[in-house]
Structures are given as C-alpha cells and as structure tokens.
Structure 1
C-alpha cells in the first residue's frame, strides 16, 4: 500500500512500514514527485459506467481532487503490475477484473508516471480500502472534465481521453504463419500450432509497440485471436488468446471474426500472407500484415 505524506502543515497519518519506493523525487527545478521508482495509476474503463475515479482525502498531496487509483511503484515492479496492485489496495479492484489495453507514459527522465488504460472484463463495485480515498465513483467519460481534477491528471486527461475509444485487435491466420517457416510443422500440425500460439501469448503479455500497429505512441495490448483449421483444431485453449477453430474454411472463419470485431468498434489487423484472404480482409474493414510482421514481433522460440 502506498500512502503519500500529508500536505505541508497537515498532521501525518499513521501507516505501516514504508516500501523503499515510497519517497519523493526532487526535480532539478525543485518540484517533488512521489515514487522513488516512478509511479503508476489505473484508468479502468467500463463500457456502461465510464471510468473509475478516486476522490482524494484532504490531507493528501493535492487533496480534495479527483484522480486515478495509483501510487509509487515498488523496486523492480513493472508499471502495469504497480498500477493494478495500487488499484486493488486503494479501490478494491479484483484480480483479473481489468484487462490492460495501453500504457501511456509521462517520462521526465528522473521520474515517470505510467497510466494503464484497461477494460473492465469482470464488472465490480469499487471499495474504499485504505485511508487515501474519500470517495470512489464511476464517472461517464464526457463528465470527467467537470470534476476538480488532480493537476497531473488534468494535464494528461485530454490525451488519455483520446485513447479510451481506441481498441486494437489482431487476428492471426495460424496456418499461413505456421507455413511460412519450414521447421517441420507438417510432421505435427497441432504441436506446431500450439508452439506458435504459445509465443503469441507471450507477446500478448509483453505488449506491442505503437509503430507496429500504426497507433499513437504507447505500448499496446491488443485483443488476440488465433484461427486454426484442419488437424490444428485439436490445440488447447490458452489464457490471453482467443482460439477460434474453423469448422470448414479457415479463411471464411477469419473474415467472420474480422467482421464481428469491426462491428464491436475494434481496429482490426489480420496477419496473413495469403493475397486472396488479404483482399477479403480489407473489404471487411481490417488492416493486413504479412506473416513476417508477426514473426519479427514474437519472442524467440
């Protein structure tokens, strides 16, 4: 749990042992930033209710303002893990209730703040679970600007607002990508497909650079779909990637998946080097990347 010191002149509130990250970083110009190893916060987006905001207690830094659940990162802790941990500690956000979509980083060189924009995949009610929150509320996106916001959050809100509706999705033509590497996949197609999907899972966990998706400059976590056909349909389901088993034509299943994703407002990229499928994918409103695009992004096998 991260608890910022009180504002100047306010009494110090009791708290437990401090983490080494719970310390101020002083800028060359004298400004202070909380979090020796940087800080992170969660912008949880609920499609029906808006975004989750925290009304900060009066004795905190910039008290009585609204901002995101968040705080100082621990040493060696990723920004994503830090944001989710802080959200659990400050707002009772359950494990696995929010799926990260994009990381937006404000980096001063000597200190950074990472906003994790994530989608609520398991609806929940926030709970005030530490002394830092006066109130927690789901706020419609259009109404956020009307609240008295923490200065840092206010400065970043316009940019963050532009990310709320950007939802990338990648659909992988597993047979085509698998077939582009002559590694003996034809001897055991299910095993080869499983290996490829396992690497996609690892990529999904680490995120994709903005340049690869031609999106605003952040680290993105798209929705991943792997379409398998024929013998490869026996592959097991995995966490982090939706495995679609084509009952007939794999190309047809990919086009259907793309059309459905586009209808849900996703920015769809289909990974295939098949020219015929690429044309159909474009007609369905998706972008197309060749197999090499994905293979260059995947971690080493």
Structure 2
C-alpha cells in the first residue's frame, strides 16, 4: 500500500506479526532473506492481513506459513498496535504453551531461531521491530489478572438472578471467558490484553464449573486467550476475594479487582490490587 505522502507499507489491509515468547528459550525471530523489505535484518514472522481478517488470526496464520508454528502451541496474551491512520501493524504477543521447533517453510527466511530475551537487541533488527522492542520487552513481565466479585456483579442487574443464582453465575463465567480488555482499563502498556480471570462465587453458586473454551472457531490453530478459573468461597465471599487478590499480587501479577462494594474495595487495595473497577465497568466491557 502507498500512503498519500508516498510512504510504502506492506499490506492493503494492514499487517501483523507474532511475538512467540518461550520463557525457557526466548523470542522466536526470523532472519529475513536479502531480497525482502529490510532484508538481512531480524524480525518477527508476520505479513499482510486479508480483507476482514482479525489481526490476531492473521499473525498466527503468517507465523504458521513462515515458521511452521504448530496448531495449539501459543496462547495470546496481549496485542500492541502501531496505527498510522492509513495503515496499521499489530504485534500479537503470545505465550508458548507447547514447545516447538520452528521450520523454514517459505523463501522469506534465511533462519529461524529462539533468541534469549537479553540477546534480542544485539541482533541487527528490522527497524520497526527494533523501535518497538524496548516497550515489548518490558511488557513481557506484566501479567494482568481480574479477580471478580461474582455475587456483586450478578446482583447489580435486576434480571431475576435471585431465582437461579447458580445459573446467573454460570452465565457470567461464560461471558468472561476469553475477555479482552483495553490496556488503559488495566493501567498497563500495550493495546489490548487477554487477562487471566478468577471468578469468586459463594453460596448457591459454589457448584458451578469453569467454562470449557475450545479454540477460536475462526482460528482453530489458536488456543483460547485468557481463561476463567472458579474460586469457591468456603465462608465469607469477601474474605475469599481478598485472599485471591493477595495471592496473585504476591505472585507478581498486576491484579485488577472488580467489585462495587466500597468496604471490599478498601480491603483489596490493601491486599495489593493495582486497579479497582466497579461491577458496572465490567458489564460495559463484557460481550453481550
């Protein structure tokens, strides 16, 4: 694509790349063939998006075509978008959950290597990736999670939940599964995140089970993003929420608590919550 100012960009509908992160081996980098754009540099597997294709789908598709990334080997954690109005590039940062060896499967690569995080910037990097890498590297250590006060969220909408508390909690868990949240709402960098979610339930809702997500129907090669775990309060629900926030904060997670209970908000803040949102905020960001 050629912008009105004359700059050339690859991909009429934008482009996307996959930053696959393996904590044991580092980042999967592609050594670009000499005849390609900025040939001889190192960057991420990626390329042009198809019309109507989601960036997260296109990034994995391109990585499969260029580096043989196997189905179900990565789980998206967040995206970072460079938006130039006339063109955009989306970096999809994904955790490797099933280790694999990359395979050169098209003529665009001279080599594919797992490069330790501390050694990435010692390579001659593609200028676009090179400028984005310092921020992306810092965000690799960020792991947001939501701790949701299930009773408070369910009880904030007068939709008859009191007739079937377990059913209402189950519906909430299903809507939470794979939730994407803007970086601004989480108070972190990047563009969009797929946080881990802990749904704390009590009373009649304690018997519900976590939703079982299958891979994205549009992209079966992707493992589901995020995920919901059910935390069953054995006694007071507020105490269980505080304990879960404290546990996750101690593990180094960026914990966002969701409750409209003001007393509980003070308790979770003291327990280490980095951010607190109301039930209304969550209902606004949930898919309908």
TM-score interval (norm. to shorter): 0.7 to 0.9
Instruction: Answer yes or no: is 1:83 the counterpart of 2:70.
Output: no
* Distance verdict in 2 for CA 1:112–1:143, change over 3 Å: same
Instruction: Encode CA deviations 1:154-200: one digit per residue, 9 max, x unaligned.
Output: 12222322322222111111111111222111111111011112222
Take 2:109 and 2:243, find their aligned partners in 1: how far apart are those partners? 45
2:146 aligns with 170
- SS of 2:136's partner is helix
* Distance verdict in 2 for CA 1:88–1:250, change over 3 Å: farther
2:264 aligns with 277
Range that drifts further, 225-234 or 76-85 = 225-234
* Distance verdict in 2 for CA 1:49–1:257, change over 3 Å: farther
- SS of 2:101's partner is coil
**Matches for 1:2-13 after TM superposition, within 5 Å:** none
Match 2:163 to one of 187, 203, 207: 187
Match 1:242 to one of 209, 229, 234: 229
TM-score (norm: length of structure 1) = 0.84
Match 1:224 to one of 192, 197, 215: 197
Shift of 1:42: 0.9
- SS of 1:136's partner is strand
Shift of 1:260: 2.6
Q: Which structure 1 segments of 5+ residues have no match?
A: 1-24
Take 1:139 and 1:200, find their aligned partners in 2: how far apart are those partners? 34
1:298 aligns with 286
Take 2:250 and 2:110, find their aligned partners in 1: how far apart are those partners? 39
TM-score (norm: length of structure 2) = 0.87
1:210 aligns with 183
Shift of 1:273: 2.1
Shift of 1:34: 1.1
RMSD: 1.9
**Matches for 1:29-68 after TM superposition, within 5 Å:** 29-68=5-44
Instruction: Encode CA deviations 1:57-91: one digit per residue, 9 max, x unaligned.
Output: 22322222110010111111001111111112222
Take 1:173 and 1:129, find their aligned partners in 2: how far apart are those partners? 47
2:219 aligns with none
Shift of 1:217: 5.5
Take 1:74 and 1:278, find their aligned partners in 2: how far apart are those partners? 44
User: For the pair shown, which has the larger CA radius of gyration, 1 or 2?
Assistant: 1
Contact 2:79–2:190 under 8 Å retained in 1: no
Q: Which structure 2 segments of 5+ residues have no match?
A: 214-226
- SS of 2:31's partner is strand
